[in-house]
Structure 1
């Protein structure tokens, strides 16, 4: 029986190899060392209360990657004196589950209760999930499942009714900073980053503590003469492949000249470079793809018809072929060169994409989330939603940003073409929002 216990129980924190990965060496040894989840592990949290009472109920830990689900489960077992068994739904099947349950029954006869941790429990199918029910109900195991997916959609209702769903939060900047400080204490030296690069490293983790520590370990593994700035950090941690074939520099010089002539509203020069490319045998659809891109990047909503003109040129060229269809490309080129210009949509995309990469795990506010299941309604999804069509003027002025994130401004229309009217609409909406908050 002792062999069974050893096979199924993970190593304790004290047994972690001093040469192991940094993330493993920094695994918390007690629940109060888990960062970012104080709402659960603190004295008033669900986990804190269970530990204080010395009795665990089965639970589902739902949260993003790198937020401490596995660590929390292991420390829970330690805190209340349960035997800890961990399996992964990715690598385990029915036979593995039967073995685990049989061993848990044998240990129960000796007075050793089992906490069964199931990583990625949502990967088990419905029939496999049903297999847990009798062993959870009779106390053979206390089930702790971990998932990054919404339990309402991925887990059986019967299993959910027997387990408490606990939501782990994405690690915020303060929690990630604590992890870096622990890494520096473990390595007995500071990270080779200036203050701006340190902030960029934290932002790049997107709330994932494991990812952050793996990046920190990479930084410690290289020899640096001086701390890195954000550009140096990006260069070290990312590997980019070349975008263009250097043997065809003339090809890209001409497409660049066409693009910049269009941007500069010089239809004569734009037509010249278009002719240079087409008469040299360039693929017409390639050139047209670049003009379509230009319509979105450099014209945008200053003249929304530009994109329509370009797509109509594509259809005309595909219908007529060369050389007749090339006139449609010329028409699209001239339309774009003479249209009012705005790169507001282009800048808005870059800013929004950058923000999304930094905050991509933040939940939208609960009032604008759909609640198709009872669990989702019980935890507040959809509560207090303001239906804009019922509001005066068809505009509620509600807040649609994550609670942890202040409203951002990515798109600023220019005072040209159609975007001038767009700006007027946005100003009207902004004024209504401000009035609502006063």
Structure 2
């Protein structure tokens, strides 16, 4: 592979509820995902994050694996209900992240902290306006403890998923199915991002970010414009320009009487980009609409081209290249970081190894697409692969494996896959010294 620019950051990412376990230890309170996963029928085979990968107890082993891979950075999320269970400060909850950050720095791995990756304390709700203010208070508390060692702070991970999968289709926690609730949650999440960013800025945070899952569209613009607005511009414009696009604002007004003019704004230093696939769309008068895109009646989602991943997602690296160039064109001056990209495959252990050649091909194609975007002017600063470990894949439970490292969910043994060894070689040839 052609060499990436000097200073390019390579790493991996995880999320607290997906890997930590220790759901009831050291004062941690329940999250909406604890409640959801323990509700019969909500998660495949009744799986929960109670134990997950037991990273809470095995973090030193996991950080040693990161060091062996040569990672420059590790993106993790802080568990809000571990820090503020029931709204009360729990010092023991932050102690874990103290230990994790110190272990990362001891092995020369830069910590990248995400404050919210979907595990909202169970007593809170994104339909409530004051949840945004509570998030800002939480951000300030975490920064006060870790800000002397953590340079990069991400407010939210994928607010589109939190809003429209959590409150639109109900496939994710808290399992609400109401278009008005989905738009209300989206608005309050955007408020939380801005207020949290303001709190972090006031506290002296070095670098502030937000991570958005962004989906390029394929199809006639008359069909794709609405879905692009709901999937992408609904979040991009408020975060990077301070207001909603006019067409999105008008669409939201069809479902809710929210005062959209009360949206605060705080510039960010880098935009986190999560990319997995594209959406292929076509007009179809008989299409009933998609619950995660309220008002999408008459638009059909077409099946993927080629062989999809285990998630059913089309493998299309050119979509990443197009996305990075679009962001550079439409939102100039915004540094970019790929904060998630990866694939789930049906990994099999044979002779003590996992020869996940499909994942290697997937990552290789996307790395090359990212490099092409850089060569055309995209200000891409780094690439964090999803995920370091196989983990709890939300409503799909433990059935989908994204990890560079295989986790045996009975013994909890870690086994680096062929993709992990390949990634080590990529890192050694590219970017930072």
Q: Which has the larger radius of gyration?
A: 1
Higher relative contact order, chain-length normalized (CA < 8 Å, sep 6+): 2
Q: After TM superposition, is the score higher than 0.5?
A: no
Q: What TM-score, normalized by structure 2, do the two folds share? A: 0.28
Structure number with higher helix proportion:
1
Structure number with higher strand proportion:
2
